[in-house]
Amino acid sequence: MSRIYTVKNKLVESRLFLHRIIAAFIVILLLSSGLIVRLVYLQIVGHEHYTTLAKDNSIKIEPLVPTRGIIYDRHGKVLADNTQSFSLELIPEQIIDLDDTLLRLQKLLDISDEKIDQFQKQRKRQKRFVSTPLLISMNDEEIAKFAVVRPYFPGVDIQARWVRHYPYTELASHVIGYVGRINEAEMKTLPIAEYRGSSHVGKIGIENSYESELHGKTGYAEIETNVQGRAINAVNSVPPVPGENLYLTLDIDLQKTAYDALDTFNGAVVAIDIKTGGVLVFASRPGFDPNPFVVGISNDAYQALQSSDNQPLFNRALRGLYPPGSTLKPFIALAGLEYNAINAEHKTFCPGYYQLPNVSHHYRDWKRGGHGSVNMTDAITQSCDVYFYSLALTLGIDRMHDFLQDFGFGEKSGIDLSGEKQGLMPSREWKRNRRNQAWYPGETLITGIGQGFLQITPIQLARATATLANKGKVITPFLVKKSASPDSTAPDIATQEDLGFKPENINSIISAMVNVIHDPHGTAKSIGKDINYQIAGKTGTAQVFNIKQDAKYNENDIDFKLRDHALFISFAPADNPKIAVAVIIENGGHGGSVAAPIAGKVIKQFLGTNNEN
C-alpha cells in the first residue's frame, strides 16, 4: 500500500494565521466598542430612566381609596352614608382547586350563578394573590354559616369594607341617585389617577352630578415588594382626601309627605323655596330601592324594574313630559294684559264651546253648559276654556311662544341634576322645521289652554310658578347648598333676571289665583280651610287622548291609562310667597280634587296653619 505525503508550506500557513488573528482582533474590537458604548449609555445617558425602572421593580404604588362624602338634607338628616359591610373574599393563589371551592361555597351560602360569574370576571382582571370579593354585604346568618367551616376553606375569608347606604330607600331614590360598579365605558372617561382602586361611581341623581366632590382625592402608598410582586413593607404614603359632605336644600320630611300623598298614583311633586330657588321637594313616584344597585342587583330584579308598567326607574320630576293643561292659563292671562290684548275687566261670553270664524268645529269648554259672561278673574277662578280660546287667538302663537319662553317653558330649568328634559314650546318655525307643515289657528286655540304640542316637565312647571310668585324675577332651582355644613345658607343668588311686568298686571293674576282656592266658585276651594293665610293656585286637567267632536268623556268607561292627567300649581302665602309647588298626577282625572290636596299638605306642613309673614 503506497502512502501520500503532503509537503507543508510554512509561508502560506503563517499568512493564513495572521489573517485570522487580525479578523478576530477586529471582531473583538467591534464587540468591545459596542459594549463600551452601551455601558456609557446605561451609566450616563440612561441612568435616570433605568434607576426609575429598577425602583419600580421593588416599589409598587398602591392607591388609597378616599371615603365617599355623606349627603344630608337641609336639616342634617342623612340621605346617603357609608356603612361597614362584610364580604366573602377569595385569594385564588392560596386555593388548590378554585372550582371545587366555589361550588362548595355556592351550596353552603346559596350563592347565585350570576354572582359566581361576576367573581370569575373580576378575578381574571387581577393578580392571583389579590383578594377578590365573591359575596358582598353578608347577613348575620351567612357570616355564622361560614364561620363554622372556615378551617376547611383555605384562601377564603371575611373582610370588612365600606358600602354606600341609602336609609330612605325609594323615598329619595331619583333625586339622590345611587352608586354602582364602574363599567368599561366609564373607565375610559374617568381620570385614571383619581379612580385607581375605586370600584364604584355615581350613576344618577346627586351621586352622579356631584361625583367629583363626593369621590374625594385618591391617596397612595409606596409598598416594597419582592420579585413576585408581593408586599413586604410600607415605605411611604400620602393619605387620601375624603369626599366632600353635601348638604341639600331638600327637606326629607316634606319629601315624605309629598311622596306618601301621591299614594297609588304615578306622578311627581316639586316644591321650591321662592326666596332662594332651593328645591324643598323633588318627589317622583313610584321610586325604587337604590341599595341593591350598590352591591350588584340581580339580572332578574333589574329586568323586573325595567319591564314594570309603572316605570319605577323613570324620574318623572326631571324627565316626565306632560301637557300643562289649565295650569298654563294664568300665564296666558298675564300675556294678554302685558300685550294690552285685554284688560282685567274684559268679558267673554262662554256658551260651552268656541268656534273659529266660518268654521263649524266646536272647541268645547270643560263645562258643558258654559260659564256665561266672564272676565279674566272669573275665567281663571272657574278655569273657563272659552275665554282662553278667544284670548289665545287674539294673542297669536308667536306672542304666546315668546312670552311663555321667558318663563322657561320649553327650556331646561338649570337645576343641578343631569339628564333633564327640555320640554317643548311649539311655534310656527318649530312645526315648519319638524313637520314641514303650516301652523293652523286651531292649534293656537288649544295651546292657549295648555294642550296640543306643548310639553313641560314638573321641575319646569314649578320653576315657572316660582317666577310668577316672585313677580317676574326668574328663579333658577338648585339642590346643593354652597357650603358643606349643616348651618350653611343657600348659595348666593345670582342677579335675577326681571321680566319687567307691570305691578298691576301681576297683582291681578295673583288675585285671581287666590280666588281659585278661597272663592266659593274656585276649582280648588277644598284646600283653603283652617289656615290664616291665603294660597294662590291653579288647577289643571290635561287630556291624554283626543275626544271626538260629539263624544262625551266619561272616565269610568275608559282604560285607566287613558284618563286625564291631574295638575295643580300653587304658592303661599299669596301676599309674601315663600314656597311654590307643582303637582302632576298621571291619569289622576281632576286637578282640584286629586292634585290640589297634595300641594295643600306640602304647603301647610312647610308654613304651618298660622304662618307669620
CA angle 330, 347, 518 (to 5 degrees): 50
Whether the per-residue pLDDT at 21 is higher than 60: the answer is yes
Q: Is the Cβ–Cβ distance between 134 and 105 less than 8 Å? A: yes
In the chain, the amino acid numbered 561 is K
**Structure-model confidence comparison of residues 549 and 449, the more confident one:** 449
Q: Which CATH superfamily is domain 252-306+322-607 in?
A: DD-peptidase/beta-lactamase superfamily (3.40.710.10)
Which 8-state DSSP code applies to residue 45?
Answer: I
For residue 372, name the pLDDT band (cuts at 50, 70, 90): very high
What interhelical angle do 458-469 and 503-518 show, nearest 10?
A: 120
At 112 the pLDDT is 87
List Cβ neighbours of 183 (8 Å cut-off, separation of 6 or more): none
List, for residues 451-510, the tens digit of each pLDDT value.
999 999 999 999 999 999 999 999 999 999 865 555 555 554 545 789 999 999 999 999
Q: SS3 for 44?
A: helix
Residue-wise pLDDT tens digits, 553-567:
555 556 667 788 999
In the chain the first and final C-alpha atoms are separated, in Å, by 141
Q: Helix (H, G, I), strand (E, B), or coil: what is residue 57? A: helix
469 compared with 155, residue with greater pLDDT: 469
What are the boundaries of each domain within the chain? 62-247, 252-306+322-607
Mean pLDDT value across the chain: 88
Q: What pLDDT shows up at residue 72? A: 96
Catalytic, out of 284, 326, 427, 508: 326
The class (CATH top level) of 62-247 is alpha beta
Q: Are 86 and 250 in contact (CB under 8 A)?
A: no
Active site residue 326: yes
Measure the CA–CA gap between 378 and 370, rounded to whole angstroms.
12
Q: Are strands 71-72 and 246-247 parallel, antiparallel or unpaired?
A: parallel
**Predicted structure pTM score:** 0.83
